[in-house]
Structure 1
Amino acid sequence: MAVCNSSVLEVCIAHPSNTSMLSAVGFIMMPITLRISVAVIMIFMIAVGFLGNAIVCLIVYQKPAMRSAINLLLATLAFSDIMLSVLCMPFTAVTIITVDWHFGFYFCRISAMLYWFFVLEGVSILLIISVDRFLIIVQRQDKLNPQRAKIMITASWLISFCMSFPSVVGWTVVEVPARAPQCVLGYTESLAHRAYAVFLVVAVFFIPFTVMLYSYLCILNTVRHNAVRIHNHADSLCLNQVNKLGLMGLQRPHQMNVDVSFKTRAFTTILILFIGFSVCWLPHTVVSLLSVFSHSFYYSSSFYIVSTCVLWLSYLKTVFNPIIYCWRIKKFRQACLEFMPKTFKILPIVPGRARRRVRPSTIYVCNEHQSAV
């Protein structure tokens, strides 16, 4: 591997093999102050992503009450983000500062495989969660229990590994920096290499995005339809639901306390994760495809800056997820406060009113002021 540096332009012959030698091409470097700033931000992201996702995993591991199917999936998503933070982001931060890859060509391929491996795993977990929400809310089928969730998690790890491993053995061109701050998909005219690159980005983004978008549109339509139906037939619906539950013997069934926002809030949390996934990964997917198919884009002087920005955005998801958990999920937020040392707890914890958890599989009832399905 030959890497050449200058004060303004970086020249790199990135690949040592005879089949994918590249001609020397210059590109515009980021200023040293900006490179250091980006690297410092990435180090902060590594710390926050590692600690935040580690707390999520510890909560699920240490608290048996938290080991529901959905929480096991969220813990797996957190673990994949931890691995991405620890095994990929530090090398990218070093390369951003030095504008050189110091870890060897073969580890470059391994790091690229690990990057796609953990990303594929995180995406597959989001896909499983979205399908589960679709089955519960639209199809009214609650089939995912903790045992089945463990089986699907194991299968997702195996499938993700099988899909990412070919990048190690040369099924696609993986460029060694300094053209980019990380080992990325490079330009190639080989149909086989292009086919695998397309397969990779389609599996990472386009298929999950399409399935999740369809699931959430159906869920939104179902929620809207139920809201209209409930609003128009509130009284009769309440009586029907109470009859189904066999509660007609109660003197005042309308005094029952029901968490009517359970389904909607859980769905909204997953929807926010989906939006975060789309925002963080759409630019990276587009840039990856352009890198493989567009000679002019890959050899342009701005490619280094563009690839740095999209890589930073893709890593931002590792920080984004645990923040959403603590913001949206009360039990995670309470558990996070328990893990914090007492010296950091500025505000006292106000005891809230105890409320029985409403499971997604139960039939919802309504009182004279609220209703749900």
Structure 2
Amino acid sequence: MATWLVTGGAGFIGGNFVLDAVRRGVRVVNLDALTYAGNLDTLREVQDDDRHVFVQGDIGDGALVERLLREHRPDAVINFAAESHVDRSIDGPAAFVQTNVVGTLSLLERSRDYWKSLDAVQRDAFRFLHVSTDEVYGSLGKSGRFTEQTPYAPNSPYSASKAASDHLVRAFHHTYGLPVLTTNCSNNYGPYQFPEKLIPLVIAKALSGEPLPVYGDGRNVRDWLFVGDHCAAIRRVLEAGRPGETYNVGGDAERENIEVVRVLCRLLDERRPLADGRTRESLITFVADRPGHDRRYAIDSGKLRRELGWTPSVTFEEGLARTVDWYLANQPWVRRVLDGSYRLERIGHA
């Protein structure tokens, strides 16, 4: 049975990845600091599963990470742990540098030391996979896509901190030989996403009949990737990616933000019409734009497709409908996030 140390495994993407890995028979040691976006409710399905060991703690706690590596002897470290909300990074950038840069550095150092302690066969098989974002590349014009050769040009404190962590991962490969892999993904969506991000935020507000805030003119473009497809890409990179390489992961689904909101409105009107008969599009409200708001992101995932044979399996329309249906069917999970009660459950180190 493979053993993986997954950091940030109570968050959105990490939580989906952990659930899927355990279902597939992997033993997961799940390290998460349970900051505001870490949610144990997401892990209910595996809370009593012997293949899932949850540990509350910070990737910057070197002694804790060292102990987990020594005790559980993982075959890989998969790093999802990150502060990831652009608006929050604008209001308080220091926390993003602390987790995304200083924390990643500490995790790399402990992983390097553990890797060096392995025998030759284990050392050859070990991988450190770092999950990053397309935002490190900056903003695109009306044409073109980000490739693995696109120069970094981060425009927010969040993306700058992720760019720094990417550079550290690369440096640990070239300096120490640590067998690292990096994935840079486009905007994820799907089950268990914290409702500060666009899609779950719109769903929550639309169900309540509240105004639906859209930044600026709503014409900012993002490439959308269903979280299940992202998890499949990470597993494929972990399995067959070449150490030291970066792989872009995109859904090939560019959409303007306003278009995403309008599709959500139509899906919810079909499933849960408002009692007063209004259409939810009538709730759309344009608000002042985010400072430094990148205009367009788009990922070229050709390298991942050509070299490793991965392709997204869920169209944007199908994925969005599945996401809406999941949120409608899991309102207790949403309510516990919105009222803060999900944060009442915090446990100590395992």
Give the TM interval when normalised to the shorter protein. Answer: under 0.3
Which structure has the highest helix share of the two? Answer: 1
- Normalised TM-score (structure 1): 0.25
Greater relative contact order (Cα < 8 A, sep 6+)? 1
Which structure has the highest strand share of the two? Answer: 2
